[in-house]
Amino acid sequence: MLLAPFAKVSLSHAPTPLEPLDRLRRVLGGPRLWIKRDDCTGLAQGGNKARKLEFLVADALAKGCDTLITPGAVQSNHVRMTAAAAARFGLKAHAVLERRVTATDPDYEENGNVLLDELFGCPRSYVPSGSDVAAACADVAKGLAAKGAKPYVIPGGGSNPVGALGYVACAIELADQAKALGIGVTRVVHGTGSSGTQAGLVAGFAAMKSAVEVFGISVRHPRKKQEDMVYDLACRTADHLGKSGIVERARVVADDAYVGPGYGQPTPGMIDAVTMLARTEGILLDPVYSGKAMAGLIDHVRKGTFRDDENVVFLHTGGATSLFGYKSLFFREAA
Ligand SMILES: *Cc1c(COP(=O)(O)O)cnc(C)c1O
C-alpha cells in the first residue's frame, strides 16, 4: 500500500529468509538472535543494493535513460550490483572508483567485486581518495551525453529517497515475517555506510508506527556525522512517501565503536566475527560492512546491551564477494 505509487523493477529474490542463529546464540548467550538474509537477494551474489536498484532502475527507465553511472570504493558491492542490474535491463554502466582504501592485498585491485565489474562489462574510471565523486560522476555523465548517451547518475550506495524505498520495502517484509512467526522483534542491527539502508528502515518502521529499533553500526563515519546523514535521508524518504514529519531524531542510532582505523580497514573484532559466523553457522560475512556490524552485535550481546527475552535481528547486507579482495587477512592464523 505504502509503496504502491512507486515504480519498481524486479531484481531481488524477496522475501529473503528470516532465520534463527541458534548456534551463535549458544556460543554468546543473551537474546534470541535472528538473521535476515539480504545477502541472498539473488542479483549477482546478492546484497542490500538489489532492493535499492529495483526503484532506481525503474526511475532510470521511466526517464528514458540508457546508461547507469555510479561511484564507489574499488571493492564496491554497490558498483558490482549496479553493473549487473544494467546488464539485466540492457543498459550500459560506468563506474567511478575511488581509491578510498590503502590496500595491502594483491587481490584487492582485480579480484572480488572488480573481477565481476569486468565480467558485467562495466568500464571504470579511478579517482584518488577523498575526491568529489559526485562531481566525477557528473563529468563522466557529461562526456557520455556528448556522445549521445542518456546517463542516469546513481549516488554512492544508491542512497537517495528513491533507493531508500528498497529498505522501506524490507521493513514491511520483516514486519510481516515476524508476525507470521509470532515473534516480537525489538531491534534490527546492521552496518551503515552511505545511509540508505538505515534511512529506509527507519522511515519504513515509522510509517508502520512500529516500535522496532534500528541499531546501525557505522563502518565509516563518526557517530554524529553518520546519524545526521541517516536522519536527513530518512526525513527526505518520509517526504517522498508523502509522510513528512514522522521520523524522530532520537530513533536514529549509529554506533561508531567498530570502525577501527577507517573504512575498509580491518579490525581484530571484524576478523573474529567473520571467522565465528563461518565456523558456527556456515554463513559468509564481509570485511568492510557485515563483519564490522557483526563485531558490534557480538560485543553488545557480551556487554549485556540486550535483554535475554528480546528478539534481535541481524540484517545481513551481503558483501562476501569482497572476501576475495582481502584474502591475506584470513590466512594470518596459519602464517
Ligand atoms: C552498501 C553496503 C552496506 C551499507 O548500506 P548503506 O545503505 O550504504 O548504508 C552494508 N553492507 C554491505 C555489504 C554493503 O555493500
Provide the CATH number for the domain formed by 18-48+159-334 in this structure: 3.40.50.1100
Mean pLDDT of 252-279: 98
Tell me: pLDDT of 91 over 60.
Answer: yes
- Please report how many Cα atoms fall inside a 13 Å half-sphere around the Cα of residue 298, on the Cβ side: 21
Ligand 1 centroid–CA 41 distance in Å is: 13
pLDDT in tens, 152-182: 999 999 999 999 999 999 999 999 999 999 9
| Mean pLDDT score across all residues of the chain | 97
Contact 107, 123 (CB under 8 A): no
Distance between Cα 281 and ligand 1 center (Å): 22
Report the amino acid identity of residue 261: P
Q: What is the distance between the alpha carbons of residues 273 and 28, in angstroms, rounded to a whole number?
A: 12
Residue 45 has pLDDT above 90, yes or no: yes
| Three-class DSSP category at 39 | helix
Span 4-23, average pLDDT: 98
Q: Which three cell numbers stand for residue 221?
A: 563515519
Strand order in the sheet with 311-316: 18-20, 32-37, 311-316, 185-192, 213-218, 253-255
Whether residue 74 has pLDDT greater than 70? yes
Pairing of strands 311-316, 32-37: parallel
pLDDT in tens, 246-263: 999 999 999 999 999 999
Residue 76 annotated as catalytic = yes
* 41, 74, 77, 165, best to mutate for ligand 1 pocket (most atoms within 8 Å of CB): 77
Give the cell for residue 266.
580491518
State in Å: Cα 334 to ligand 1 middle: 30
In the reported structure, the alpha carbon of residue 47 is separated from the centroid of ligand 1 by a whole-number distance in angstroms of 8
Pocket of ligand 1 (CB under 6 A): 47-48, 77-78, 157, 159, 191-198, 286, 289-290, 317-319
Q: How far apart are CA 133 and CA 138, in angstroms?
A: 8
CA distances from 290 to 230, 241, 308 (A): 18, 28, 23
Cell of 315: 540484517
Of all protein residues, the one whose alpha carbon is nearest to atom 1 of ligand 1 is 157
Candidate from 43, 48, 231 with most ligand 1 atoms within 8 A of CB, to mutate: 48
Query: Whole-model pTM?
Result: 0.98
The domains of the chain are located at 18-48+159-334, 49-157
Cell triple for 238: 518520509
Catalytic residue among 76, 218, 290, 322: 76
Atom of ligand 1 nearest to the CA of 77: 15
Backbone angles phi, psi at 268, to 5 degrees: -60, -40
Element (H, E) at 142: helix 133-146
18-48+159-334 and 49-157 share one CATH topology? yes
Strand 18-20 relative to strand 32-37, pairing:
antiparallel
Size of the chain, expressed as the number of residues it contains = 335
Lowest mean per-residue pLDDT among 80-84, 320-324, 327-331: 327-331
CATH 3.40.640.10 fits 49-157, yes or no: no
